[in-house]
Structure 1
Amino acid sequence: MKCIAFFVFLSLLIFKDAPAQQPNVIYDEANVPEYKLPDVLTRFNGGKVKSAKVWYKKQRPEILKKFTEEVYGKVPGKLEISDVKVWETSNDAINGLAIRKQLSLFFKKNDRNLEVNVLMYLPKSQRKAPVFLAYNFSGNHTVYSDPNIRLTESWVNDNPSVGIINNRVTEQSRGSDSESWQVENIIKAGYGLVTVYYGDIDPDRNDFSDGIEPFFYQPNQTHPKYDEWGSIAAWAWGLSRVMDYLEKDEQVDSQKVAVLGHSRLGKTALWAGANDQRFAMVISNESGCGGAALSMRKFGETVQIINTNFPHWFCGNFKKFNDNEADLPVDQHMLLALIAPRPLYVASAEGDKWSDPRGEFLSAKYASAVYQLLGSEGLPIKEMPEVDHPVMGTIGYHIRSGKHDLTSYDWTQYIKFADKFFK
């Protein structure tokens, strides 16, 4: 059995790294084809956006509509939290520094029920704490080595190296991703962490028979329509429902919630922040294609590759742009501009060419025009900074040494950025 588990784990590693080995992937700037980005301050009818009023009344809604229809998909209905159950609260977590709260949000419609488990760590030193809200990849119990955290019962991607086998977690996986979360440092800095396993909203597989999507199906419908949400939009919807709860939690400063995500969940955080302006800050950690990176650059992962490997992430209409990025009516700098004038942080990693660090930087750079129109600084530089030299205007950016990951270095910058605007 150990040999079988080892080879399963090895195959997972190979699969994880496989996309970067695909043929015809561009990793050389000299081979990037010419492209022309749509101007974020030029309307689709050709008119120019010269005032904040026109941005808010005309341009912003039109850009949001294009992304909804052609990239992420629309949410086909409304559904509120039907019930909240607090499982436990401890005032002596993390060596007495924090309050731990575990609760479930329940959603019900017709004969369907969905339970979303929320883990919260809040600093005891503050009556109302600013918080980072972020999805985790394998269950709330993986973010910190705390035996009191409930093990997820949801479907989870296999990872035999930490005891996740047959899509079910075990005690072995407890605290297995704690390096990515830096919970103690977050608490000591005066912030709370609110985290949810993203698979509680929608399991990350090409199957729309479970998760939140079927709650909105019409009779005989088995799959979202071409202009309806893929998994990223569903996960973003879930973040907004957690925000609904946080607005009512007296221990949370709901005016200071930073939504954060890494990789596919970085894409999710950006789309959540674009749709829901209650998020006071948005942080994208190496979100790549369909996130912060420009699609039309065709560097690293492309629209065709991502739609082939993960056909469930975006709406069906997005597949029209497979190897056809030039026909996109919008590009990702326009997504970042939808966050304006709220603080936005975009981060890259030097060893993560798959996510196109330069494309992520350029996206932040071009989004700055809207920040400046609305009276804020935007990104304070015009050329990419050196590795491990963060810059922080109203848009922050860094490219760090290392590979695709969420690290203590990243968290140090995000805490500094939050300090700038939340304290």
Structure 2
Amino acid sequence: MIKGFLIACFSLTILLPVKGQELNYDESKIPPYTLPELLVSEDGEKITTEAQWIEKRRPEILSLFETQVYGKSPEHPKGLHFEVLSEDRYTIGNMATRKEIAVYFTEDEKHFMTILMYIPNKRNGSVPLFFGLNFKGNHTVNEDANITESITRMKPRKDGDGEVRPHMFKRGEAASRWPVEMLIANGYGLATVYRGDIDPDYDDGFQNGVHPLFYKEGQAKPESDEWGTLAAWAWGMSCAMDYFETDEDIDATKVAVVGHSRHGKTALWAGAIDQRFAMAISNDSGCGGAALFRRRIGETVNKINSLFPHWFCENFKQYNNKEDELPVDQHQLIALMAPRPVYIASAVEDLWAGPKGEFLSGLYASPVYQLFGLTGMTVDEMPEVDDPVTNGYIGYHVRTGNHDIKLYDWQQFVKFADRHFK
């Protein structure tokens, strides 16, 4: 099995330049750990029924993740509204309709995100949809010259340049990660939002994104249990779902939230907080995503908080080098998706993300699916490389290669979605 191969790959220890910490990739050096109980409530009651999970245990776990890891997000703004900015019914060789939609967070329309969406022209009624954030701007997803260029927002340079950098990324630069034609040919729509429209990905004390829109009088930053950047992105995705429910071209009961790397962490959290998402797909999401915290292999809580102090809520920092004190672990995050299907993808060379820990989260989440009379993960050990497990409600594969999202990954996502959406 792949187990032995992974142990050989992980037999490496290097130094990471984060406060002199040692980074472990060796499976034999993983410390003993005990995962938090999945099916025992905080008052010690054993959870044995679907109703107990929905009414008691799920809310407990969700609250712990909100207050200790990602942070609590506000309600959607009362002024939330939408505008179709453009529509072209003859794109991708006449195969698709392209839309651009503004989701306004405020009534004055000064704060908004733009959804780029492709819908198959050959369809009977509404279609299922894959929806994810992009890293560099909507215009990088496809070489289509008519996609409005996103306003790229990045950390200011030391020379005093502002955070807005026009033409920073080329049109179609990230097209390999977004197989629009393949999805359209398989009957799926695709929607994406540039994450910088919601909150730019750097630490400035939460002044440059949506957070200040919700500060109370005198407040300058989120409280210790309030949303970090990942939660803000997930909140924005939930706001997009409000739009999807209004679009007759989209089957809003079949929207899969998908993400790679930090966006994979976001996709899982979005699926947890908004149960309207019918499926969650995590690709190479690692620490804070699908990987178990307590294994302390690859990226750890201390490392992720050191490198990306804005991603999680302030309370999460108290668990630096103290993973065993966390009241939750990521198998519980996967379980929050139940009974909806969830897919976890890894890459065998992506040691930083900890592929085995990603697999184990899916495996250990499976008992919750059993409460619903469903099968979660259908195998007990990691599958071989490039041998997907897709016949349960928790899908998994570990792909040849490194940290990326490739056509192979998307092909497995489509097969998995076909099983559950069609």
TM-score by length of 2: 0.92
Q: Which residue of 1 aligns with 2:408?
A: 409
Q: In the TM superposition, what is the alpha-carbon distance from 1:38 to its structure 2 partner?
A: 1.1
Residue 256 of structure 1 aligns to a residue whose secondary structure is: strand
Residue 112 of structure 2 aligns to a residue whose secondary structure is: strand
Mapped pair 1:197 → 2:188:
no
Q: In the TM superposition, what is the alpha-carbon distance from 1:171 to its structure 2 partner?
A: 7.9
Could you list the structure 1 runs, at least 4 aligned residues long, displaced by more than 4 angstroms after superposition: 17-23, 164-167
Residue 257 of structure 2 aligns to a residue whose secondary structure is: strand
- Answer yes or no: is the 8 Å Cα contact 2:154–2:202 preserved in 1: no
| 1:173/1:363 CA distance change after superposition, 3 Å | same
| 1:157/1:79 CA distance change after superposition, 3 Å | same
The structure 2 residue matched to 1:229, chosen from 227, 230, 235, is: 227
| 1:364/1:61 CA distance change after superposition, 3 Å | same
Residue 295 of structure 2 aligns to a residue whose secondary structure is: coil
1:319-338 correspondence to structure 2 within 5 Å: 319-338=317-336
Mapped pair 1:299 → 2:297:
yes
| 1:340/1:85 CA distance change after superposition, 3 Å | same
Structure 2, unaligned runs of 5 or more: 1-14
Q: Which residue of 1 aligns with 2:419?
A: 420
Structure 1, unaligned runs of 5 or more: 1-16
Kindly provide the CA deviation profile for residues 57-83 of structure 1, in whole angstroms up to 9, marking residues without a partner as x: 100000001111100111144414533
- Answer yes or no: is the 8 Å Cα contact 1:87–1:104 preserved in 2: yes
Mapped pair 1:395 → 2:406:
no
Q: In the TM superposition, what is the alpha-carbon distance from 1:86 to its structure 2 partner?
A: 1.4
Tell me the distance in 1 between the aligned counterparts of 2:109 and 2:221.
Answer: 16
The structure 2 residue matched to 1:240, chosen from 238, 241, 253, is: 238
Mapped pair 1:72 → 2:70:
yes
- Answer yes or no: is the 8 Å Cα contact 2:344–2:395 preserved in 1: yes
Q: In the TM superposition, what is the alpha-carbon distance from 1:45 to its structure 2 partner?
A: 1.9
| 1:366/1:171 CA distance change after superposition, 3 Å | closer
**Aligned residues between the structures:** 402
Deviating more after overlay: 197-206 vs 166-175:
166-175
CA RMSD of aligned residues (A): 2.1
Q: In the TM superposition, what is the alpha-carbon distance from 1:405 to its structure 2 partner?
A: 0.5
| 1:355/1:84 CA distance change after superposition, 3 Å | same
Tell me the distance in 2 between the aligned counterparts of 1:355 and 1:20.
Answer: 17
Tell me the distance in 1 between the aligned counterparts of 2:18 and 2:315.
Answer: 25
1:172-321 correspondence to structure 2 within 5 Å: 173-207=170-204, 208-321=206-319
Tell me the distance in 1 between the aligned counterparts of 2:282 and 2:236.
Answer: 17
- Answer yes or no: is the 8 Å Cα contact 1:144–1:177 preserved in 2: yes
Kindly provide the CA deviation profile for residues 259-306 of structure 1, in whole angstroms up to 9, marking residues without a partner as x: 001111111110010111100111001110001000011010000000
Tell me the distance in 2 between the aligned counterparts of 1:158 and 1:137.
Answer: 17
- Answer yes or no: is the 8 Å Cα contact 1:158–1:168 preserved in 2: no
Kindly provide the CA deviation profile for residues 69-109 of structure 1, in whole angstroms up to 9, marking residues without a partner as x: 10011114441453322121111000010000112111116
Tell me the distance in 2 between the aligned counterparts of 1:320 and 1:209.
Answer: 23
Q: Which residue of 2 aligns with 1:150?
A: 148
Mapped pair 1:99 → 2:113:
no
Report sequence identity in percent: 51
Task: Write the letter of the residue equivalent to 1:419.
Answer: D
